[in-house]
Structure 1
Amino acid sequence: MPALTTTPDGFLLHGEPFRILSGALHYFRVHPDQWADRLRKARLMGLNTVETYIPWNLHEPEPGTLVLDGLLDLPRFLRLAAAEGLHVLLRPGPFICAEWDGGGLPHWLTTDPGIRLRTSDPRFTEVVDRYLDLLLPPLLPYLAASGGPVIAVQVENEYGAYGDDIAYLEHLERSLRSRGVGELLFTCDQTDGDHLKNGVLPGVLATGTFGSRVDRSLARLREAQPEGPLMCGEFWIGWFDHWGGPHHGRDAADAAADLDRLLAAGASVNIYMFHGGTNFGRTNGANHHHTYVPTVTSYDYDAPLTESGDPGPKYHAFREVIARHAPVPDEPVPAPSPKLPPATVRLTHRAPLLPLADRPVHAPDPRSADDLGLRAGYTLYRTTAPAAGTGLLHFTGGVGDRAQVFLDGAPAGVLERERREETLPVRVPRAGAVVEVLVENMGRVNYGPRIGAAKGLLGPVTLDGAPLRGWDSYALPLDDVPATARFAPAATPACAEPAFHRGTFEVTTPADTFLSLPGWTKGEAWVNGFHLGRYWNRGPQRTLYVPGPALRPGTNDLVLLELHGTITPEAHLTDAPDLGPAAS
């Protein structure tokens, strides 16, 4: 019998009345050495449970492999939650959305055109089952039946917004049960339209997702499920940002008032997000409704706990609301964490990017990043132009997602999927000029029918209508920064080509800080080999969060991959974030 059971209007935990007061906290968006701190702050706000997705694409990067270390050490996270006295809601997908690269579905799966994703297509369910065969055995000891913290497990994720294949949901339920998951199962769907109707699975608890109109949303949930606990599986209290858009937020008093309405109605809740964290590395997703728009590096979400783990206005407001409905620990609210004093870092050494490409794949036309087996990162393409002169360079099929064009090493222009650009006017300096195209994967679509859209160059290339043939295609995963020996002293402060830039700075006592890059254009940053994520002067995000555990006493390394150019050799460490101007 599961530890968590349902009654006609609520939950029982080990036979005693229980209300789930949960907050979303994604272990894979937080430095592992900060998990214990974030979990403690969840308990001190009055939460008794935390919720997390499980990103399939990182846990099984290649078929048949399972990664459970570092940022992905889920067993360690579960042990820490139990040590803090918190229960856990697990959401293994297989699809998670979460504004996460590909919605958590592996690229080696989504790029297979023969598989119908998120359906009862045996080609999909067989792969899901093989993943569960890998994932679940290490997690079973952490289920409540074995004395662990996990009291409930989600079946799929907001499936009603995607499809209505009940046989698929039933297959997932059987797959979890047959592999030892005896805890309460639940689904999670938006309360608008037919989402609940399409996503509800008989015999499985239905929960709703919404951020306002509490009474109406709970009424719709009750219509879909006449008996059982009312629970908001995602109570949206903020939002995420896209490059080039505003920074989203929500008034703390407004969100707290809706939380109060929710709890006053007797419902359980999972606050999305309690602590958003960061899309470290290249893990951000993208939306593609009318056009492609990638998500920024920060996943601060205007959550109660900021990206750097400090209690914000919602933390205090929510704690007061929760205290009206449930006991809150009689302990002081945690103070903000220490920050490094502001400092300037000089980047004194440089390594051009394009010469680092090796092991090309030669073909008449460019090969896509997916053809090259590249989950994330960059693809470089090289060929030669037959004659000098002006003309139109056309990329049939477009680019995925952002292409920089060079002629004999000189920048010739940029094309973006976001702007639906496919043609670039160019001036070819000579016959035989080297044409190079560097394409950045800006994040895989995480929601809707465009999951699995290809990356890199997506078709043949023509110059004034004549095909350009004979391409070398290079995969540039750039998972690690180049070796120190690759860097040479920078002759001048300015740089107008894609290049790695390296510098060092001294730290006495490691603490959180924020990387600010005025004068830089677009790229990525690493501190001591820890991949902070992407930066872009397009905004809204203007600083990158640097977790204190990524630093060390003494000398620290900063490496920037700048894709365009910089007029300064300096970067700055600040003691406050800048996520951009708020949406009006």
Structure 2
Amino acid sequence: MATLPTLYEYYTGGGITQGLSVDQPYFTLNNKNFTLYGGSTHYFRVHSDYWRDRLRKMRAAGLNTVETYVPWNLHEPEPGKYEFGAGGTDMQEFLDIERFLKTAQEEDLFVILRPGPYICSEFENGGLPSWLTRKKGIHVRTSDERFMEHVRRYFTTLLTLLTAFQFTKGGPIIAVQIENEYGSTDNPTGNPPFKPDKVYIEQLRQLMITNNIKELLFTSDNPTLHGDLGTLPSLFQTGNFNSDTEANFKKLKELQFNKPSMAMEYWPGWFDLWSENHYIGDVLGYANVYDDILKYPASVNLYMFHGGTNYGFLNGAIMRSLVQSSYQPVTTSYDYDAPLTESGDYTLKYSLLKYLLNKYNPIKTKLPDMPVSSGPKAYPTLKVKYSLSYEDIVAQAPQTIDSENLVAMEDLPIHDNTGQKYGYIIYRKESITINKGSTLRIKGYVFDSLNVYVNNKLITRNVVDLDGFGYWRLKDGNISLSSDEKIENATIDLVVCNMGRHHYGLVNPIEQLKGLWQGVLLDDEEIVNWKIMPLEFSRTWNNNLVGWRESDSSESPSVSAGLNKFELELEEKHDTYIDMSGWNKGIVIVNGFVLGRYWKVGPQQSLYLPAPLLKIGNNEIIVFEEFFPKTELAFSKVPIYFNNMTNELA
């Protein structure tokens, strides 16, 4: 039996003369017929030690292409300061895009690159840097020069790195996307109305050409909903959908004559939102639509093939209107009900896809064996060892800004005047008198959740009632600070959590401000002269906290935010899930790295912890609980979901 060629041997043997072509009703690659069988995974959602494993599993399924977005906000955390795997940020080990591209080629996969600048992706701010918000009146995703000057600087740096990885130069990149689902920005009845800016799309196309991108340039939108609103005649159009295969491909053929048909995003699952049910899709329905696409015949990219994780504070959110009450944050898990789970395990969807690709792909090339997947394991339950109280945390705040008025996170004069990106922010008012029966009122909305302290004592108790005080849905919310007697010389702290900037639904980032800035009243009198303390929980700060007190795990701690440290001693390490189902709301930090959020509101009740974030020997796991901490930390070998909310402290 003859040995099958690898993908690269088949398509590049004898030299490379042409890239991916759409000059006929089907794709050709290097002048050979080519059907694109792709799958999405995002390098910034998967630890770099696992890139090869996930890519090999994709190739073993029969895919020939991997698709990834490129997150601007992580690669340029401050204007002109870049992170491509050696920049020293907390996400450094997830961001070596050159290594990812090399690994993809070594695993015999081609690459579709989607660099934005906006990427959606259910990711923080749709991948746009939060520091853009400081330019008041800026119009992102348009030809506004205040936006484009930053895009040009970033793209020039990014594309300079990537040009060598193009297929026609011997690399893996066969196509590059212009913007992302830009047609969906069309909103003629909005306030203000918005029409997609074709000048902007052309500017992005020219940026690609100027920076020596030679491969196929394309756009993607839902063709039946948005037609050609988000593209140009000079760009190849692809479709995003999860049903109505025939109608979507028919529309694509109407929009561009004599071109190949491709679903750039066929959605096999969906993402989870806090307070909603965990998504579980119809497996047979998924397979039937995938079968319809393959037999059409058309090319297809599965979004997602492997979802991964929104580590740290990097989840996005949906905003369906300009009203803050429409805000819905995405969970830490980005499992997506995909063929590979969040932890990289195989599912039935994987097996069905592998079967269908083998059935329909007429070009047979060498595939690797499926990598063994042992799955996560559960470590023994830990007892809390050390703790820091809320008062201890405040005493170690990285810095304090004195301000007459409230200031949004993004407008704080920190990080070379680029503002606060993620985490929590404390607004403190000292030396104030609280009368018996006093009421505190927040003007406008909270962005996004709020706890109130008086003299370091937690006043709020609302864990899950999103319509009540302390959450984004309630406008002009108020809370009683009543006591039996007047409190002189009191300190009021308003602790606000940024639950993630929206990735979809609005155009102007001015609506992305986080924290408080519209005013706070005590008994109808506006409070001024604040001390503002940003708490971003950076790795450096997390690892240098002092004053830890030994905890007696037999005693129940008081109701108050705090840091609770657990120690995990390991002789060998493996993936696991941290079981947070008994906790209320907060974040988990592993060896200084913010793993992600947890919240009793559901559906997610556990956090995936990949082995590369652990080490042999002693590991520190810190839980920042906003309400009522537990004295034990449990683990699980499977993810835990819980869809029934209860407004009680755990």
Which range moves more in the overlay, 40-49 or 124-133? 124-133
Residues 400 and 458 in structure 1, CA contact (< 8 A), matched pair in contact too: no
Does 2:270 correspond to 1:239?
A: yes
Instruction: Give how far 1:421 is off.
Output: 4.0
Amino acid at match of 1:471: W
Matched with 2:548 is 487
In structure 2, the partner of 1:362 is: 402
Q: Which string of whole-angstrom CA distances, capped at 9 and with x for unpartnered residues, describes residues 164-203 of structure 1?
A: 211110110000110010110000011233x222012111
Is 1:405 the counterpart of 2:452? The answer is yes
Q: Higher mean Cα deviation, 217-226 or 448-457?
A: 448-457
Contact 2:445–2:472 (8 Å) recurs in 1: no
* Residue type at the aligned position of 2:165: Y
Map 1:127-526 onto structure 2 (within 5 A): 127-162=150-185, 163-193=195-225, 195-290=226-321, 291-326=326-361, 327=364, 332-352=369-389, 353-372=393-412, 373-384=419-430, 385-413=432-460, 415-429=469-483, 430-449=487-506, 452=509, 453-480=512-539, 481-483=542-544, 485-491=546-552, 492-526=555-589
Partner of 1:486, secondary structure, is coil
Q: Secondary structure at the match of 2:99?
A: helix
- Judging changes above 3 Å, is the alpha-carbon distance between structure 1 residues 444 and 562 closer, same or farther for their aligned structure 2 residues? same
Q: Indicate if the aligned counterparts of 1:212 and 1:258 stay in contact, CA closer than 8 A.
A: yes
1:81 matched residue in structure 2: 104
Question: 2:205 is aligned with what amino acid?
Answer: E
Q: How does 1:60-79 map to 2 (within 5 A)?
A: 60-69=76-85, 70-79=93-102
The question of whether the paired residues in 1 share the 8 Å contact of 2:378 and 2:577 is answered with no
2:141 matches 1:123: no
Q: CA deviation at 1:440?
A: 0.5
In structure 2, what is the Cα distance between the partners aligned to 1:387 and 1:495?
A: 23
Percent identity between matched residues is 38
Counterpart secondary structure, 2:635: strand
TM-score w.r.t. length of structure 1: 0.96
- Please state whether the residue corresponding to 2:67 is helix, strand or coil: strand
Q: Which residue of 1 aligns with 2:600?
A: 537
**Which ranges in structure 2 are unaligned for 5 or more consecutive residues?**
1-16, 86-92, 186-194, 413-418, 463-468, 645-650
Instruction: Work out whether residues 526 and 559 of structure 1, in 8 Å CA contact, stay in contact via their aligned partners in 2.
Output: yes
Measured in 2, the distance between the counterparts of 1:442 and 1:487 equals 27
Name the stretch that deviates more: 543-552 or 24-33. Answer: 543-552
SS in 2 for 1:182: coil
Conserved? CA contact 2:166–2:174, under 8 Å: yes
**What is the aligned partner in structure 2 of residue 91 from structure 1?**
114
CA distance in 2, matches of 1:365, 1:48: 56
Question: Residues 413-453 of structure 1, C-alpha deviation per residue, up to 9 Å, x if partnerless?
Answer: 25444322432222254132211000000000111216522
Mean CA deviation greater in 456-465 or 168-177: 456-465
Superposed displacement of residue 229, structure 1: 0.9
Partners of 1:11 and 1:310 in 2: CA distance: 32
2:218·2:236 contact (CA, 8 Å) conserved in 1? yes
Residues 111-120 or 24-33, more deviating: 111-120
Measured in 2, the distance between the counterparts of 1:350 and 1:109 equals 37
Cα deviation digits, residues 201-222 of structure 1 (max 9, x gap): 1111100100011111111111
User: What are the superposed Cα offsets for residues 438-481 of structure 1, whole Å, 9 maximum, x if unpaired?
Assistant: 00000001112165221011212111211112211111111122
Q: 1:85 to 1:403 in 2, by over 3 A?
A: same
Inter-CA distance 495–149: structure 2 relative to 1 (3 Å threshold): farther
Q: Could you tell me which amino acid in structure 1 is paired with residue 64 of structure 2? A: N
For residue 519 of structure 1, report the CA deviation from its aligned partner: 2.7
Q: Which runs of 5+ in 1 are unaligned?
A: none
Displacement of 1:537 after TM fit? 1.2
Cα RMSD, aligned residues only: 1.8
Q: CA deviation at 1:231?
A: 0.5
Q: 1:296-340: per-residue Cα shift (whole Å, max 9, x none)? A: 000000000000000111001111111111147565544432433
TM superposition shift of 1:536: 0.8
CA distance in 1, matches of 2:344, 2:428: 45
> Higher strand fraction: Structure 1 or Structure 2?
1
| Deviates most, 196-205 or 449-458 | 449-458
Letter of the 2:47 counterpart: H
Q: Residue 527 of structure 1: which of 590, 614, 635 is its match?
A: 590
SS, match of residue 303 in structure 2? strand
Pick which of 196-205 and 406-415 moved more. 406-415
Q: How many residues align?
A: 580
In 2, Cα distance between equivalents of 1:65 and 1:219: 45
How far is the alpha carbon of 1:484 from its aligned partner? 5.5
Q: What amino acid does structure 2 have at the position aligned with 1:276?
A: G
Q: Return the offset for 1:390.
A: 1.4
Judge conservation of contact 2:275–2:643 (CA < 8 Å) in 1: no
Matched residue SS, 1:120: coil
In the aligned structure 1, how far is the partner of 2:148 from the partner of 2:567? 49
Partner of 2:616 in structure 1? 553
Shift of 1:10: 1.0
Alpha-carbon distance between aligned partners in 2 of 1:518 and 1:170, rounded to the nearest angstrom:
49
Residues in 2 aligned to 1:425 and 1:145: alpha-carbon distance in whole angstroms: 63
2:64 alignment counterpart: 48
Distance 1:2 1:417, change over 3 A: farther
Classify 1:579/1:336 alpha carbon distance in 2 versus 1 (closer, same or farther; 3 Å).
farther
Q: CA deviation at 1:578?
A: 1.5
